[in-house]
Amino acid sequence: MTPQTLSSSSISGTTVVNAKGESLGNIKELMIDTDSGRVAYAVLSFGGFLGLGDKYFAMPWEAFKIDSEEEKFVLNVEKERLENAPGFDKDNWPNRATHQDYLDSVYNHYGYTPYWRKSTSKAY
């Protein structure tokens, strides 16, 4: 099976909606885990108006579904849950010293097990 791929530049700025079709914002950045090469999370910009007052949220990459026909990302999250999620200001990203704790809380908030906590043993 050939992997499906998208360039990071085509993902940045993509509209994100929830399952109800409500706009949740857009993707600002993809954060890559330099040890594993995996997408650790996507940074979602939500709220505000015309880029003012936006709050950023780290979203587990596996939480997104791609609607290739509509060219959107679908996130099965209610707006209220997103509003209560651990977020950050665009000028004040998570501190590197507490980054692991922050990411654990993000994955937990959305009900995902962080990929770095899953068993990595492989049968050969």
Say what the pLDDT of residue 120 is. Answer: 56
DSSP letter for each residue of 81-120: HHHTS-EEBTTBPPPGGGHHHHHHHHHHHTT---GGGS--
Block mean pLDDT (10 aa), the chain, length 124: 77 90 91 89 80 80 90 87 82 78 88 81 50
Say what the pLDDT of residue 97 is. Answer: 67
Say what the pLDDT of residue 16 is. Answer: 94
Say what the pLDDT of residue 95 is. Answer: 77
Q: Which CATH class is domain 8-116?
A: mainly beta
